[in-house]
């Protein structure tokens, strides 16, 4: 079996294992249901769009609504994934496999993103089905997939890398506490209040992709401060840059963990 085939086998194993977790489905169902019910009272940025809104706008706003808090559920679900291998004493066995540390971590990461992303995609398709019936527009379904890929998925990829690796050094309970604090500091707190990454290219709440899809700014471009260079005007180019940065930064913890584990094996 080639290295790529070995990594795909890890991806399939990881996906099957994670997708069966009841806690994942229950958490996403509760979070998306709560957001759907409460969206009218969450302010104009999250309010239901007008009856004449396009499918692109409707589904982008659904994705922007879900990304407010759903990634917290994913971070919580993945926080003990690699710790479980250590607790069950299977990490040494896995380390001896010919796939190597990098392939194993990469397969675990891809399988985890796919597994945690599946409930989010189904939630988007459920919202798209609801809107298609309500508004009589079947293009809600493809736009739901597009909005998921551009607004929700990059944030999930960003969160997954840190949620898998950081608990190895911090412990899962401490990571969960710090992660919740980070999420509200870096995604919700207004930059006019305190220095924050909110509204920047490195904000995993899909603000730049949402701004581009809607054609209206939902970020904080132009606000002066030490991080203002990370808040350029929202365009197709800056939206693509934000997506690429989120994915790349989400991979950094895996690179660090791979180097750390390789050095431990060499020692």
pLDDT of residue 9: 82
Question: Tens-of-pLDDT digits for all 267 residues of the chain?
Answer: 566 777 788 888 889 988 988 888 898 889 888 888 888 777 677 778 888 899 999 999 999 999 988 899 889 988 888 777 666 565 555 555 556 777 788 888 999 999 999 999 999 999 999 999 999 999 999 999 999 999 999 999 999 999 999 998 888 899 999 999 999 888 887 777 778 888 889 999 888 999 999 887 665 666 666 777 888 888 899 999 999 999 999 999 998 887 776 666 655
Domain boundaries, the chain: 3-190
Q: What phi and psi values does residue 191 have, to the nearest 5 degrees? A: -65, -15
Cα–Cα distance, 251 to 147 (Å, whole number): 22
pLDDT of residue 45: 73
State CA 111 to chain mean position distance: 13
pLDDT of residue 148: 96
pLDDT of residue 94: 56
pLDDT of residue 168: 86
Helix ranges (H only) for 201-235 are: 207-214
pLDDT of residue 120: 93
Q: What phi and psi values does residue 52 have, to the nearest 5 degrees? A: -90, 10
Residue entry with tokens 């581009």: 212
Instruction: Report residue 44 as tokens.
Output: 């104009």
**Cβ-proximal residues to 255 (8 Å cutoff; 6+ apart), any chain:** none
Residue 146 φ/ψ region, left for φ over 0, alpha for ψ in the -120 to 50 degree band, beta for the rest: alpha
Instruction: Report residue 12 as tokens.
Output: 């399939």
3-state helix, strand, coil in the chain (%, to 5): 75, 0, 25
pLDDT of residue 95: 56
Q: Could you tell me how many residues make up the chain?
A: 267
Cα–Cα distance, 145 to 143 (Å, whole number): 5
pLDDT of residue 224: 64
């Amino acid at each position: 079996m080639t290295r790529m085939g070995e990594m795909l086998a890890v991806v399939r194993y990881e996906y099957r294992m994670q997708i069966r977790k009841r806690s994942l489905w229950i958490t996403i169902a509760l979070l998306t249901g709560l957001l759907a019910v409460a969206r009218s009272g969450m302010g104009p940025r999250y309010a239901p769009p007008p009856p004449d809104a396009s499918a692109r706008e409707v589904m982008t706003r659904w994705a922007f609504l879900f990304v407010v808090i759903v990634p917290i559920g994913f971070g919580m679900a993945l926080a003990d994934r690699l710790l479980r291998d250590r607790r069950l004493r299977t990490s040494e066995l896995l380390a001896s496999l010919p796939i190597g540390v990098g392939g194993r971590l990469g397969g675990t990461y891809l399988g985890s993103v796919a597994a945690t992303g599946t409930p989010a995609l189904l939630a988007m398709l459920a919202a798209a089905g609801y809107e298609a019936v309500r508004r009589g527009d079947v293009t809600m379904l493809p736009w739901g997939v597009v909005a998921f890929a551009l607004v929700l998925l990059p944030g999930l990829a960003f969160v997954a890398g840190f949620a898998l690796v950081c608990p190895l050094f911090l412990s899962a309970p401490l990571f969960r506490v710090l992660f919740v604090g980070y999420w509200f500091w870096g995604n919700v707190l207004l930059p006019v209040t305190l220095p924050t990454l909110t509204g920047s290219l490195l904000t995993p709440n899909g603000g730049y992709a949402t701004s581009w899809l809607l054609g209206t700014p939902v970020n904080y471009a132009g606000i002066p401060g030490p991080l203002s260079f990370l808040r350029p005007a929202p365009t197709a180019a800056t939206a693509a840059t934000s997506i690429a940065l989120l994915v790349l930064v989400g991979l950094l913890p895996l690179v660090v963990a791979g180097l750390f584990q390789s050095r431990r094996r060499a020692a």
